[in-house]
Structure formats: C-alpha cells, structure tokens
Amino acid sequence: MSTSLSAAGSTHGRHPAADAGPQALCAREPRVPAERLVAEMVPPPRFDSVRFDTYNPDPAQPSQAEAVGVLAGFASGLGGAHATGSGKRRWFGRAPKAAAPSGPRGVYLDGGYGVGKTHLLASLWHSTPAEPALKAFGTFVELTNLVGALGFQQTVQTLGGHRLLCIDEFELDDPGDTVLVSSLLSRLVEQGVALAATSNTLPGKLGEGRFAAADFLREIQGLSAHFRPLRIDGQDYRHRGLPEAPAPFSDEQVAKAAYATEGASLDDFPGLLEHLAKVHPSRYGALTDGITAVCLTGVVPVPDQSTALRLVVLADRLYDREIPVLASGVPFDRLFGDDMLNGGYRKKYFRAISRLTALARDAKPLVSQ
C-alpha cells in the first residue's frame, strides 16, 4: 500500500539527505487509498510495545489496578471462534449475521488526561487472542473518516467480521456524528463484535456542555447500554515529576535545527494552518510520512474553532507517531483562547496542549545538534 505525495522529491517512507534541506508539510498533498485506512487501524507506533504488565498503576489510585484486572479478563474472554464463524477479515464481503449477544458487549474507560487510558486500550488490543486482521484500533475521528471513505454499509461489512473494535478518544461533537457512530456500533454489536472505548467523560455524560444537548443525550443513552464503564482516576502522567514545557526557541534556532536534522520539516505556522484546511483530516497521518521532526516558526494563537479542531487532529497524529515538535513564537499553552478552553470542545484542546507539550520536550535536544 502506498501514499503519493504531490511535492517533488517527497515520496512515502524516504528521508531526504540532510544537505537537501528540510521538507515542507505545506508542499505535501497526500492521497490515501481506502484500503490503507483499514489496514492502519492498529495501535499507533507509540503503543507498539505496551502491555498490561508495562502499565504502572498509581498506588494512590486503586481504580487503575482494578481496570487492568477487568480488561485482562475481558481480553481472555474474547478467545475462540468469532460469532460469525469467520477466521478471515471481511474487508469487502458481507459477513453472516449472528444473534445479538445479551448484556453489555464492551468496556468504556473513563478518566482524565494522561492517566494511561490509551496504554490500557492498546494493551487490550495486543492481549486479545486473535490475529491482527480480526482486531481494529483507531480514534473516534479515524472511525468517522473510515465511514466517510467506505460508506456506512461497507464499513459495517468490513468491521463486522472482527473480534474487537477499540475506539480511542470517543468524542461526539455534532449530532451527525452521534447518530452515525451510535448506528454503526449497534450494527457491529449485532454482528458479535466486542467494543472498547476511551473518553474523558462517562457514557451518559458525553455531549454535556455541547451543542444540541437534547439530541446528544437521546442518542447516547441508547449507546451507553453497550458498555460497562470503568472509571480510571489519577493525574496526567505527562506532568508527574516532569519539567515544565520548554520555552519556545527563536526562528533562527528552529530553522538551524531543521536543516541539521535529517528528515525534518520546516513550516511557517500560519501557513501550515492554511494548508491543513486543504487536506482532509484522514490524511494528516500520511502528511507526516517519513518526517522525523516537525519544525514550526511563528506560532501564534489559533484564530478560529474550525482551524483549532484541525490542529487537534494533527497533534494527535504527531503524538501517535512520536514526532518531536520544535517551535518558535507563543508557547503551546497559549494556542487556544479562553473562549475555546471554556467551550464545548475544551477537552480536545487540553488534550492537544498536553500532547504538543510532550512533543516539545522531545524536540529540545535537536537545538543542541
């Protein structure tokens, strides 16, 4: 499977020579085939090696150790033949319909930022006794993008033969997505697919403080019945005993590091925000193919909510791929204004700040090269 990039000399998986200078994300216009979207529904590289025994529960938070035990039991219970009797992934064929299982068919990890929910969700995926082709892992946004690429019925057929579907960062931001995902998961449960999801709120609380709250609550009440909620308390591990996020560097320092780092990209931040509007969010991962570090000059507060939500998706893809971010301008905790941080999408913005801060720490050594 391949991804084409329209920028000259920017091919998938190849790093340019250091003396060729940094690449520009703004020069890339990736085209991603639908089958790649399906094949890449696995835990991101950052979580390749995580397992239940590599999760370190906080002794002061007993809910963390309890969640590990529940999820390990849930994984072991997913062994054996799939309800459809199929041992192969049904990408583009109809899976026979199975009788709907009784009771909750999933687990729902509820907790704040950085308590290890994604670590646990990825550990569940790795521990489930089924070949990777029968397990799917993706963010809520990636799942809705898959439906957009394949269509609803084809997505049901594609995922209906799976043993497990893991959904990270379950967020319902508009009534359309609420209806779409509620319908999709209901159909998958009927096919015998087990579900696991993470979010920052309980199933019955999703949508509070957002637009069209009555519509959200009506849809979510039915959807929440598919899950057993597991509360995971704790503090953001990314800030436990770690130094504060490094202050932004100068334009000159960022540019110098970009030219000295093989595979780095260098972009003006306002220009990158404009470019993101021209690339579908499902392609943001492909936008970073072959990039070893993202260097940004002139970081400024994000001007509007649509732009901010696109930046959140890019931050998620960079974090998944462990790509350090070196920047000049305002610090990342000033990217979003008070109106955004107090609004309906505040959880997404706080997550983006947390992840970009972690990536900024990772990028600090680049300046000393």
φ, ψ of residue 325 to 5 degrees: the values are -125, 115
Distance, first Cα to last Cα, the chain: 35
Q: Which two tokens stand for residue 290?
A: 């072959």
Instruction: Quote the CA–CA distance of 66 and 153 in Å, as a whole number.
Output: 37
Instruction: Quote the CA–CA distance of 113 and 201 in Å, as a whole number.
Output: 11
The residue assigned the tokens 């979207």 is 37
326's enclosing H/E stretch is strand 325-329
Partner residues linked to 165 by β-bridges: 136, 195
Q: Which residues contact 176 (CB under 8 A, 6 or more apart)?
A: none
Residue type, 233: D
Q: Which residues contact 103 (CB under 8 A, 6 or more apart)?
A: none
- Whether 206 and 85 have beta carbons less than 8 Å apart is answered as no
Pure H helices in the chain: 34-39, 62-76, 117-127, 140-150, 152-159, 175-190, 213-223, 251-260, 269-276, 284-287, 305-320, 338-341, 346-363
> What is the DSSP secondary structure assignment for residue 307, as one 8-state letter?
H
Q: What is the pLDDT along the chain (369 residues), one digit of tens a residue?
A: 445 444 433 333 334 444 578 999 999 999 888 778 888 899 988 899 999 999 999 899 999 999 999 999 999 988 754 444 343 444 444 444 444 444 577 999 888 767 889 999 999 999 999 999 899 999 888 898 889 878 899 999 999 999 999 999 887 666 677 778 888 999 999 999 999 998 866 666 666 554 445 655 566 677 777 888 888 887 755 555 444 667 899 999 999 999 999 999 999 999 999 999 999 888 898 999 999 999 999 999 999 999 999 999 999 999 989 999 999 999 998 999 999 998 878 878 888 998 899 999 999 999 975
pTM of structure: 0.73
Alpha-carbon distance values, 279 to 88, 124, 128, 301 (Å): 33, 32, 35, 21
